[in-house]
């Protein structure tokens, strides 16, 4: 039985998490921040590095769940934000010249981007607005999502995010499982759930529901933790939407700006009707966007009837950070490096797994990568359900996480990690060596 405990000094973290439990749920601000045995309290992030309150320094692959595509606290982005703060202020909540620059830029670089709305914070906000406008455009009510997919905290799609396999129903016709008490059953009933990558099943489900479906929502690559996506599957979704007048929505909150300047849609050559962006768009500053076809986006108020408001929409610091981040990504060199480092991790770790003949495979989609202790094909939620979290229920993943942390590499609870342009080849080589060492040490248990 494989077992590796966390051995680094965590006195300050443990004191803080115990105290924090009195003031916030389990001492963390959101479920994603909790991991076993306890989450480290982080006091500083810079470039590819992260420091905790016990002065442990790590090479980081958490990237604050994806935003830090240039590395944490990029100095050029920071300088642009500081300059804006000093000379222009924080928020006017009026039209702003930089907001014009950013929406114009979206129409130049994102294939589906004709008109854009900017939200003030995370990717959940534009996802929510995408569902509302898709319903208004089609005059239909149901939304199709894929089992295991996460599209934000709002009720519209908080269904079958990580369902237990007892509740999940047949693999090729999954149940719609509410992810939380407090969500109305009427809302859950409006969500049709399909298995990712299963062309036959999705075609059958769409044929059945076609008159009710307003939107099909999909993450174009590394979807809901599933590292493999068939391009033909994405193309099929495009065809089905065209055939039945359904709005195709790409959730590019993770893939946007990280995999390609124009999003995964530009990389893969499949253009949705609506695209949702956040995270890497501003390298850690909160801002997000919904962009898409003119005839749909023009339905938003005040041009059309679809309610759209928000005090922080297009807040200027986020817009400035986005403009600078996109500028830094725009010469193509950044993405070349991100892909090269991601591919290197995968190739070298798979060579180690082959050499040791262990049951393990590494995957990446550019800079998004993850190590899975199985050689079964990973094509949908059911294939990864017991590996979604690096906790004690997943002993191999949990042991690897602790081994990484014990050796100065920071990951949190997901097998999915992120490389940034700040990572050096030496840091990536060191990370590969540390995982290889784990595989060698536990070779027998990993077979």
Q: Could you list the residues that contact ligand PLP (CB under 6 A)?
A: 65, 122-124, 127, 150-152, 219, 251, 253-254, 278
Residue 29: DSSP 8-state = S
What is the DSSP annotation of 45-105? EEBTEEEETT--EEEE--GGGTT-TT-BT-HHHHHHHHHHHHHT-S---S--HHHHHHHHH
Q: CB 154 → ligand PLP: shortest distance, Å?
A: 9
Nearer to ligand PLP, 151 or 361 (CB): 151
Least distance between ligand PLP and beta carbon 425 (Å)? 28
Q: Which residue is nearest to ligand PLP, using beta carbons? A: 122
Q: How far apart are CA 264 and CA 283, in angstroms?
A: 17
Min separation Cβ 281 and ligand PLP, Å: 10
Paired sense of beta strands 191-194 and 142-146, if any:
parallel
In the complex, least distance from residue 445 CB atom to ligand PLP, rounded to whole angstroms: 31
CB nearer ligand PLP, residue 113 or residue 123: 123
Q: Minimum distance between the CB of residue 353 and ligand PLP, rounded to whole angstroms?
A: 27
CB 148 within 8 A of CB 384: yes
* Residue closer to ligand PLP, measured from CB, 124 or 138: 124
- Residue placing its CB nearer to ligand PLP in the complex, 127 or 168: 127
Around Cβ 393, how many Cβ atoms within 10 Å?
Answer: 12
Nearer residue to ligand PLP within complex by CB, 113 or 278:
278
> Apex CA 234: angle with CA 230 and CA 238, to 5°?
160
Rounded to a whole number of angstroms, the minimum distance from the CB of residue 157 to ligand PLP is 9
- Rounded to a whole number of angstroms, the minimum distance from the CB of residue 151 to ligand PLP is 5
User: Which of 4, 389 has the CB closer to ligand PLP?
Assistant: 389
DSSP tag of 116: E
CA dist 45 and 68 (Å) reads 10
Nearer to ligand PLP, 155 or 251 (CB): 251
| Contact between 9 and 56 (Cβ < 8 Å) | yes
Residue where the block lists tokens 């499949």: 270
Contacts of 338 (CB under 8 A, 6+ apart): 69, 258, 259, 366, 367, 419, 420, 421
Longest alpha-carbon distance in the chain: 64
């Amino acid at each position: 039985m494989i077992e590796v405990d966390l051995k680094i000094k965590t006195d300050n973290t443990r004191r803080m998490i115990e105290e924090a439990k009195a003031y916030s749920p389990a001492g963390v601000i959101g479920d994603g921040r909790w991991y076993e045995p306890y989450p480290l309290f982080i006091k500083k992030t810079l470039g590819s590095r992260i420091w905790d309150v016990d002065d442990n320094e790590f090479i980081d692959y958490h990237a604050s769940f994806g935003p830090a595509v240039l590395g944490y606290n990029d100095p050029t982005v920071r300088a642009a934000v500081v300059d804006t703060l000093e000379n222009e202020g924080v928020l006017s909540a009026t039209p702003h010249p930089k907001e014009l620059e950013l929406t114009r830029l979206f129409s130049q670089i994102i294939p589906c981007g004709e008109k854009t709305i900017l939200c003030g914070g995370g990717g959940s906000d534009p996802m929510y607005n995408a569902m509302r406008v898709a319903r208004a455009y089609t005059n239909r009510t149901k939304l199709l999502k894929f089992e295991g997919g996460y599209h934000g905290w709002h009720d519209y799609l908080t269904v079958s995010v990580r369902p237990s396999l007892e509740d999940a129903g047949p693999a090729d016709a999954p149940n719609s499982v509410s992810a939380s008490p407090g969500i109305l059953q009427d809302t859950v009933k409006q969500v049709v759930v399909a298995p990712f990558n299963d062309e036959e099943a999705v075609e059958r489900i769409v044929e059945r529901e076609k008159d009710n479906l307003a939107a099909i929502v999909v993450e174009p690559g590394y979807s809901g933790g599933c590292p493999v996506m068939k391009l033909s599957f994405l193309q099929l979704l495009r065809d089905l939407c065209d055939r039945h007048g359904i709005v195709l929505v790409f959730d590019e909150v993770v893939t946007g700006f990280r995999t390609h300047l124009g999003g995964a849609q530009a990389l893969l050559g499949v253009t949705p009707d609506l695209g949702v962006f956040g995270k890497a768009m501003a390298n850690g500053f909160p801002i997000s966007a919904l962009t898409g076809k003119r005839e749909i986006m023009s339905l938003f108020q005040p041009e059309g009837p679809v309610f759209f408001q928000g005090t922080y929409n297009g807040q200027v610091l986020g817009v400035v950070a986005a403009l600078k981040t996109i500028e830094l990504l725009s010469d193509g060199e950044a993405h070349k490096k991100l892909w090269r480092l991601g591919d290197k991790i995968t190739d070298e770790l798979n060579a180690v797994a082959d050499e040791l003949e262990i049951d393990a495979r590494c995957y990446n989609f550019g800079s998004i990568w993850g190590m899975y202790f199985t050689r079964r094909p990973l094509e949908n939620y059911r294939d990864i359900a017991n590996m979604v979290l690096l906790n004690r229920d997943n002993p191999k993943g949990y042991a690897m996480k602790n081994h990484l942390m014990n050796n100065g590499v920071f990951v949190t609870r997901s097998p999915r990690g992120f490389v940034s342009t700040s990572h050096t080849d030496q840091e990536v080589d060191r990370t590969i060596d540390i995982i290889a060492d784990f595989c060698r040490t536990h070779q027998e248990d990993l077979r």
